[in-house]
Amino acid sequence: MSALFTADELQHATGGVMMRPFHAQGVSIDTRTLQPGDLFVALKSASGDGHAHVAEALHRGAAGALVHSQESLPDEAPLLVVGDTLSALTALGAFSRERFEGSVVAVTGSVGKTTTKEMLRSILSACGSTHAAHASYNNHWGVPLTLARMPAEAAYAVIEIGMNHAGEIAPLAQLAGPDVAVITAVEATRLRAALPPGIHFSAFGAADLRHVTADENGSTVAASIAGTNVEFRINAPGTHMVRNALAALHAAHALGADLAICAEAIAGFSPVSGRGVRAPLLGGAATLLDESYNASAASIRAALEVLRLQPATRRVAVLGDMLELGDHTQAEHAGLASALNESADVLYACGPGMKFLFDAIQPEKRGVHTTTSAELAPTIASALRPGDVVLVKGSLGSRMRVIVESLERVAG
């Protein structure tokens, strides 16, 4: 197997000093998932310093380590020493992008980024070798890491771009240098303004939707994309999934991929963990809709629409706070009342924001409200009964995964 990076490439890309030459077959920032032959990048962040794990990484088979400190490391260790490891990882990502001869599509938006990225991975893989991160690596270290891991010989690469702070999207978009950009929702101007003229954009509504037949398992769709009629099946319910699929197909077409092959391949897409995965509970007598990864008002409405489609004796919504809404917290949460009343038979909720929704819905639909997900979890598990379909959703910081794990453990 040829190296992802030779010793000369590593040194040239980062401007670092190589203490003992080594080639790298991959790039890792986590010893738990590191593979033999990887370059281990010792990143420093608020959650810890990767330099503390360099010795373990080398013991696990890392080819070498990218460090900005040699403290407590043996002189003979295979190290690439730089001024700052995050800057060096970014430079390595830029080097990888510059040598890449395939096509790159970037995906951004307030909701639907990871799902659309996974749809693009599915459909482009049917047309050629495709590279994409296996997680939501869309921030200041995730985008460089995804680019650095990109095989030079791949035909396509899908790069997800997100934002935690103002001004983050522009440099990440410039680093990714996409040929096509998919914008899944609002705040589209950040990616658009960051890129040079001539980049093709694909957004919701970019295709002519002709007909949709929806059911609890997904949708059968007829559409026209850039003047070409396509029919496809998406095995994930909800109109938001249809919109994601149309945006992905439009982007694939803009990249020059075979639209007929891509439309057929979309049937192979499955929702990713925490973003619409369905799982049996009570031995199959009940169903979990796991949307626990994150939440916004738009995504909660979409998830409630999916809940409404499900055949059930009782449709149960378990919702945690949408965070970082500031002065809009009360209005955004209470504003979900109409959608909740139409889609769910009962609401179990946690967090101060969701108390506004809990108080705004029809009294007969109020189940239990608690302060935290940990307090709510045992109540949900004990209330579960045959015929239930249970939707679990909330912002990542609301820790709704705690409830999912409780349901899986008690009622799997």
Type of residue numbered 334: A
Which residue has 């891991």 as its token pair?
A: 149
Q: Are 318 and 391 in contact (CB under 8 A)?
A: yes
| Non-local CB neighbours of 335 within 8 Å, separated by 6+ positions | 297
**How many Å is the maximal CA-CA distance in the chain?**
70
Q: 346-350 and 314-320 as β-strands: parallel, antiparallel, unpaired?
A: parallel
Structure-token pair, residue 400:
């709704």
For domain 7-88, the CATH class is alpha beta
Helix (H, G, I), strand (E, B) or coil at 239: helix
| Predicted pLDDT of residue 194 | 53
In CATH terms, are 100-268 and 277-411 the same topology?
A: no
CA distance 228 to 221: 14
How far from chain centre, in Å, is Cα 48?
23
> Is the pLDDT confidence value at 348 over 90?
yes
Lowest mean pLDDT among 54-63, 200-209, 398-407: 200-209
DSSP element (H, E) containing 22: none
pLDDT at 321 over 50: yes
Which tens digits make up the pLDDT trace of 275-291?
899 999 999 999 999 99
For residue 90, the model assigns a pLDDT of 98
- The domain 277-411 is placed in CATH, from the list 3.90.190.20, 3.30.1300.10, 3.10.110.10, 3.40.1640.10, at 3.90.190.20
pLDDT band at 309 (very low <50, low <70, confident <90, very high): very high
Average pLDDT, rounded, for the chain: 92
Q: Please give the structure tokens belonging to residue 353.
A: 């924001």
| 246 vs 202 pLDDT, higher one | 246
Burial of 65 (0-12, 13-18, 19+ CB in 10 A): buried
* Burial of residue 269 (number of CB atoms within 10 Å: 0-12, 13-18, 19+): buried
Confidence of residue 207 (pLDDT cuts 50, 70, 90): low
CA distance 283 to 300: 27
Tell whether the model's pLDDT for residue 164 goes beyond 90. Answer: no
* CATH topology classification for 100-268: UDP-N-acetylmuramoyl-L-alanine:D-glutamate ligase (3.40.1190)
Residue 189 has pLDDT above 50, yes or no: no
Asked if 124 and 72 touch (Cβ cutoff 8 Å), the reply is no
pLDDT score recorded for residue 167: 80
209 vs 175, which has greater pLDDT?
Answer: 175
> CB of 336 within 8 A of CB of 343?
no
Order of all β-strands in the sheet with 79-81: 17-18, 79-81, 64-67, 38-41, 26-28
Q: How many residues does the chain have?
A: 412
- 186: confidence class by pLDDT, cuts 50, 70, 90: low
Instruction: Give residue for tokens 């522009």.
Output: 170
pTM: 0.86
Q: In what order do the strands lie in the sheet with 228-234?
A: 208-215, 218-225, 228-234
Residue ranges per domain, the chain?
Answer: 7-88, 100-268, 277-411
Q: For residues 22-38, give the mean pLDDT.
A: 96
Distance CA(271)–CA(273), nearest Å, equals 7
Cα–Cα distances in Å, from 97 out to 39, 144, 390?
18, 9, 43
